[in-house]
Amino acid sequence: MERAEDGKGGRRQVAVALRADGAAGARVVASGRGALAEDMLRLAFAAGIKVREDADLAEILSALEIDADMPVEAMAAVAEVLARLYALNDGSAPAALDAEESS
Protein backbone atom coordinates (compact mmCIF):
# COMPACT_ATOMS: atom_id res chain seq x y z
CA MET A 1 0.00 0.00 0.00
CA GLU A 2 1.33 3.42 -0.91
CA ARG A 3 0.14 6.73 0.48
CA ALA A 4 0.58 10.43 0.00
CA GLU A 5 -0.63 12.89 2.63
CA ASP A 6 -2.27 16.27 2.36
CA GLY A 7 0.43 18.77 3.16
CA LYS A 8 2.66 21.01 1.11
CA GLY A 9 0.86 22.06 -2.03
CA GLY A 10 -2.54 21.11 -0.63
CA ARG A 11 -2.59 17.55 -1.96
CA ARG A 12 -5.38 15.33 -0.69
CA GLN A 13 -4.61 11.99 0.93
CA VAL A 14 -4.00 9.30 -1.71
CA ALA A 15 -3.79 5.56 -1.15
CA VAL A 16 -3.01 2.82 -3.67
CA ALA A 17 -3.08 -0.90 -2.90
CA LEU A 18 -0.84 -3.21 -4.92
CA ARG A 19 -0.83 -6.99 -5.25
CA ALA A 20 2.20 -8.90 -6.43
CA ASP A 21 1.33 -11.03 -9.46
CA GLY A 22 4.37 -13.31 -9.49
CA ALA A 23 6.26 -13.18 -12.75
CA ALA A 24 3.68 -10.77 -14.17
CA GLY A 25 4.83 -8.06 -11.76
CA ALA A 26 2.35 -5.99 -9.79
CA ARG A 27 -1.27 -5.00 -10.15
CA VAL A 28 -3.15 -2.03 -8.72
CA VAL A 29 -6.11 -3.54 -6.84
CA ALA A 30 -7.51 -0.40 -5.17
CA SER A 31 -7.01 3.33 -5.27
CA GLY A 32 -8.66 6.22 -3.47
CA ARG A 33 -8.40 9.85 -2.45
CA GLY A 34 -9.62 11.80 0.55
CA ALA A 35 -11.94 9.90 2.90
CA LEU A 36 -11.68 6.69 0.82
CA ALA A 37 -7.87 6.81 1.08
CA GLU A 38 -8.11 7.30 4.84
CA ASP A 39 -10.44 4.27 5.10
CA MET A 40 -8.05 2.17 2.98
CA LEU A 41 -5.13 3.11 5.24
CA ARG A 42 -7.10 2.44 8.44
CA LEU A 43 -8.03 -1.04 7.15
CA ALA A 44 -4.47 -1.74 6.03
CA PHE A 45 -3.04 -0.78 9.43
CA ALA A 46 -5.69 -2.86 11.22
CA ALA A 47 -4.80 -5.86 9.06
CA GLY A 48 -1.07 -5.41 9.65
CA ILE A 49 -0.34 -4.59 6.02
CA LYS A 50 2.88 -2.67 5.48
CA VAL A 51 2.31 0.87 4.25
CA ARG A 52 4.92 2.90 2.45
CA GLU A 53 4.60 6.67 2.56
CA ASP A 54 5.68 7.93 -0.83
CA ALA A 55 3.70 10.84 -2.27
CA ASP A 56 5.33 10.71 -5.71
CA LEU A 57 4.81 6.98 -6.17
CA ALA A 58 1.22 7.11 -4.86
CA GLU A 59 0.36 9.86 -7.34
CA ILE A 60 1.89 7.92 -10.24
CA LEU A 61 0.21 4.64 -9.29
CA SER A 62 -3.17 6.29 -8.71
CA ALA A 63 -3.27 7.16 -12.43
CA LEU A 64 -3.29 3.46 -13.38
CA GLU A 65 -6.57 1.63 -13.96
CA ILE A 66 -7.73 -0.77 -11.25
CA ASP A 67 -6.97 -4.44 -11.96
CA ALA A 68 -4.80 -3.69 -14.97
CA ASP A 69 -1.44 -5.44 -15.17
CA MET A 70 1.46 -3.10 -14.68
CA PRO A 71 3.78 -3.82 -17.61
CA VAL A 72 7.44 -4.42 -16.77
CA GLU A 73 8.28 -1.47 -19.01
CA ALA A 74 6.05 0.75 -16.85
CA MET A 75 7.75 -0.46 -13.67
CA ALA A 76 11.14 0.36 -15.16
CA ALA A 77 9.91 3.82 -16.17
CA VAL A 78 8.43 4.45 -12.71
CA ALA A 79 11.71 3.35 -11.10
CA GLU A 80 13.67 5.75 -13.30
CA VAL A 81 11.31 8.67 -12.60
CA LEU A 82 11.41 7.99 -8.86
CA ALA A 83 15.22 7.79 -8.84
CA ARG A 84 15.35 11.23 -10.44
CA LEU A 85 12.73 12.65 -8.06
CA TYR A 86 14.56 11.32 -5.01
CA ALA A 87 17.81 12.81 -6.29
CA LEU A 88 16.13 16.19 -6.82
CA ASN A 89 14.35 16.15 -3.45
CA ASP A 90 17.06 15.22 -0.96
CA GLY A 91 18.85 12.23 -2.39
CA SER A 92 17.07 9.61 -0.28
CA ALA A 93 14.07 7.37 -0.80
CA PRO A 94 11.27 7.39 1.80
CA ALA A 95 11.25 4.56 4.33
CA ALA A 96 8.44 2.02 4.74
CA LEU A 97 6.13 2.58 7.68
CA ASP A 98 5.14 -0.19 10.04
CA ALA A 99 1.52 -0.41 11.18
CA GLU A 100 2.69 0.17 14.75
CA GLU A 101 4.52 3.39 13.86
CA SER A 102 1.55 4.89 12.06
CA SER A 103 -1.24 4.03 14.49
The per-residue DSSP string of the chain comes to: -EEE-S-GGGPPPEEEEEEE-GGG-EEEEEEEETHHHHHHHHHHHHTT--EEE-HHHHHHHHTSPTT-B--HHHHHHHHHHHHHHHHHHTS-PPPEEPHHHH-
In a domain, 75, yes or no: yes
Residue 76: give the domain boundaries.
Answer: 2-98
CATH number, position 94: 3.40.1690.10
In a domain, 103, yes or no: no
Q: How far apart are CA 80 and CA 98, in angstroms?
A: 26
List average pLDDT for each run of 10 residues in the chain, which is 103 residues long: 57 84 77 94 91 82 84 71 72 52 44
Can you give the pLDDT at residue 24?
A: 64
Can you give the pLDDT at residue 35?
A: 93
Can you give the pLDDT at residue 92?
A: 63
In a domain, 72, yes or no: yes
Query: Among candidates 53, 63, 57, 5, which has minimal Cα distance to 31?
Result: 63
Model-level pTM?
Answer: 0.64
In a domain, 80, yes or no: yes
Q: Are 41 and 74 in contact (CB under 8 A)?
A: no
Q: How many domains does the chain have?
A: 1
